[in-house]
Amino acid sequence: MGDLHGAAGDAVSSFVHEAFVYRGPAGFRSEAAGFVRAGVERGEAVLVAVTPSNAETLRSELGPIASRVSFVDITEVGRNPGRVIPAWVEFLEEAHARGAGARGLGELVWAGRSAAEIAECARCESLVNLAFGASSGLRLRCAYDASALPAAVVDGVWRTHPRVLGAPSAPARERRAADDDALWPDLPPPAVPGDEITALPFTAGTLLAARQQVLLYATKSGVPADRVSDLELAIHEILTNSVRHGGGAGLLRVWTEQATLVCEVSDRGQVRDALAGHRAPALDAEGGRGLWLAHQLCDLVQLRSSPAGTVVRLHCGPAASDQG
């Protein structure tokens, strides 16, 4: 299978984004431990962002060396995939400040993710290839459990990772594609009948009415009060952005899908930066905060844009999906 952990001569300044396909705890244990151990032995900063069960497995396999590794719960940090790139950026900056290389083991997709979440995870993996420069010094390995995930999800790693390891048919091969279809995939239509969707055109003069419509719908849908407050701020930012940058008017649609409240804002503007919302705005920046803030407040944010217009979907749902 070749060297899964990186040859000793690998350039510290390079950027490596690879997927690791495994099957069950046994398949994860040894290879993940080898990857992490190699980083620790080279003096690299190592961050592991996996499910709690895999973190426990890895700690047991690593033994005392686990104390030199940082662990975060991906089901919390990455419940909204839009928060993952900023987390890796922060980790990389901290490693650079210490003069160390940076190595990360992530697990963005776990069993129980919704179809919408899986779609955003795939887009996030594509965006990683844009977010980090070739000389960033980050080696990021993304784990996928072929025994627990749909075959289509596992097959999709070929599109989003320059290198894939551990696949039964090919230990490592080049990425198949990384085009606009991966960065701007189509959104599926709402999975509810049209008469269950509340639609409200809006302009600058009707922003308050549009926001109140969302609050009313959320309250009637049983969204907890604290989440309603979060949603109020997020939808205000997105509606305001739409008026300012989307031609002065747009369409708000609200519906409930599998116990998740979805608010969709569409307009005639175009967002050309695929990483919009995935990077923390500078403290002195005059704009760029709306999508970023929405990612911090909502369970999921979906952005799609083309010359035909822009669509933003905000998801506010129940507690995170259980996983083993």
150 shares a domain with 178:
yes
Please report the pLDDT score of residue 102 as a whole number.
97
**Degrees (nearest 5) of the Cα angle 161, 164, 170?**
140
Please report the pLDDT score of residue 179 as a whole number.
60
Please report the pLDDT score of residue 282 as a whole number.
78
287 lies in a domain?
yes
Asked if the model's pLDDT at residue 167 lies above 70, the reply is: no
pTM: 0.90
108 shares a domain with 62:
yes
223 lies in a domain?
yes
Please report the pLDDT score of residue 324 as a whole number.
41
301 lies in a domain?
yes
What is the pLDDT confidence band of residue 320, given thresholds at 50, 70 and 90?
very low
152 shares a domain with 38:
yes
Name, of 10-24, 168-182, 221-235, the range with top average pLDDT.
Answer: 221-235
Q: Tokens for 170?
A: 């090919």
What is the pLDDT confidence band of residue 60, given thresholds at 50, 70 and 90?
very high
User: Which residues make beta-bridge pairs with 142?
Assistant: 19, 106
What is the pLDDT confidence band of residue 9, given thresholds at 50, 70 and 90?
very low
- CATH number for the domain harbouring residue 126: 3.40.50.300
The mean per-residue pLDDT over the stretch 82-107 comes to 96
Provide the domain count of the chain: 2
Please report the pLDDT score of residue 245 as a whole number.
93
Q: Report pLDDT digits (tens) over 195-242.
A: 999 999 999 999 999 999 999 999 999 899 989 999 999 999 999 999
223 shares a domain with 82:
no
207 shares a domain with 98:
no
Q: Whose structure tokens read 């419509």?
A: 213
Q: Tokens for 143?
A: 């784990």
Last residue of a domain, one of 120, 155, 183: 183
Asked if the model's pLDDT at residue 173 lies above 50, the reply is: no
Last residue of a domain, one of 132, 156, 183: 183
165 shares a domain with 232:
no
201 shares a domain with 134:
no
242 shares a domain with 177:
no
10 lies in a domain?
no
172 shares a domain with 36:
yes
124 lies in a domain?
yes
Q: Report pLDDT digits (tens) over 23-45.
A: 999 999 989 999 999 999 999 99
What is the pLDDT confidence band of residue 135, given thresholds at 50, 70 and 90?
confident
256 lies in a domain?
yes
86 lies in a domain?
yes
The mean per-residue pLDDT over the stretch 105-126 comes to 96
- CATH number for the domain harbouring residue 248: 3.30.565.10
Asked if the model's pLDDT at residue 168 lies above 90, the reply is: no
220 shares a domain with 287:
yes
DSSP H helices in the chain: 24-41, 52-62, 74-77, 84-97, 115-131, 151-160, 180-183, 207-220, 225-245, 290-297
Last residue of a domain, one of 151, 183, 215: 183
Q: Report pLDDT digits (tens) over 270-301.
A: 999 999 999 988 776 666 789 999 999 999 99
Q: Report pLDDT digits (tens) over 248-268.
A: 999 999 999 988 999 999 999
Task: Tell me what percent of the residues of the chain surpass a pLDDT of 90.
Answer: 81
203 shares a domain with 73:
no
Please report the pLDDT score of residue 109 as a whole number.
98
Secondary structure of residue 106 in the 3-state scheme: strand
250 shares a domain with 219:
yes
270 lies in a domain?
yes
- Write out the residue range of the structural domain in which residue 36 sits: 16-183
Q: Tokens for 221?
A: 């849908």
The mean per-residue pLDDT over the stretch 316-321 comes to 60
Please report the pLDDT score of residue 286 as a whole number.
63
Q: Which helix (H) or strand (E) holds 266?
A: strand 260-267
Task: Render 148-207 in DSSP notation, one character per residue.
Answer: TS-HHHHHHHHHH-SEEES-SS-SS-B-S--SHHHHSPPPPPPSS-GGG-EEEEEEGGGH
